[in-house]
Amino acid sequence: WELVGKREMLIPYNNQKMRYNRCDDPQALLPYHISPHAMRFEKHRVWVVEARLKQDKRHIYKRRTFYVDEDTWSIVLVDIYDKNDDLWRFTMRFSAYYEEMPGMFSSLDAYHDLQDGAYFLQCSAGEGTEFFTEPPPDGYFTPASIRKRMKR
């Protein structure tokens, strides 16, 4: 691990639209990426942290670069490189302000695979209950309960 330093860059930030819209909104989700109209970016200071695979170890990723927002300490972007040191995947965290916390929290995480042209969304927005003031009910995290809430 290496702390590369601090820099200013455009990062996904204050994405209130993604907090209040459903993850399967047809206008927001395009075949290979999220619509740019659904995204909001701000110029922020980030800490750049690089993780490199040790010489004697094996892993599908040779190197990863993490971009950590200086204000929230949230990892907002990740560049992921393959064994040839080519950019293979990247991750974007879309945060929003939650008054009930109060504070910034992830409203959507997007994981992109540049070789396959695919992406996966992990949502904490949209339908259902948000648990900030009360804990989830008993059994909420059981495999059966999670299966009931899954969408394919």
**50 and 1 Cβ atoms separated by less than 8 Å:** yes
pLDDT, residue 78, reads: 98
Q: What is the pLDDT, as a whole number, of residue 7?
A: 98
Backbone angles phi, psi at 117, to 5 degrees: 70, 25
Q: Which residues of 31-67 are buried (b: 16+ CB within 10 A; e: fewer)?
A: eeebeeebbbeeebebbbbeeeeeeeeeeeebbbbbb
- pLDDT for the residue numbered 57: 93
**In tens digits, what is the pLDDT along the chain, a chain of 152 residues?**
999 999 999 999 998 877 765 555 667 778 888 888 888 999 999 999 999 999 999 999 999 999 999 999 999 999 999 999 999 999 999 988 888 778 888 888 999 999 999 999 887 545 554 555 677 788 988 999 988 887 66
State both tokens at 108. Answer: 């959507």
The pLDDT score that the predictor gives to residue 132 is 56
Per-residue confidence (pLDDT) for residue 73, from 0 to 100: 93
Q: Enter the pTM of the model.
A: 0.79
- What is the pLDDT at residue 75? 96
Q: How many CA atoms lie within 13 Å of 79's alpha carbon, on the beta-carbon side?
A: 11
pLDDT value for 129: 46
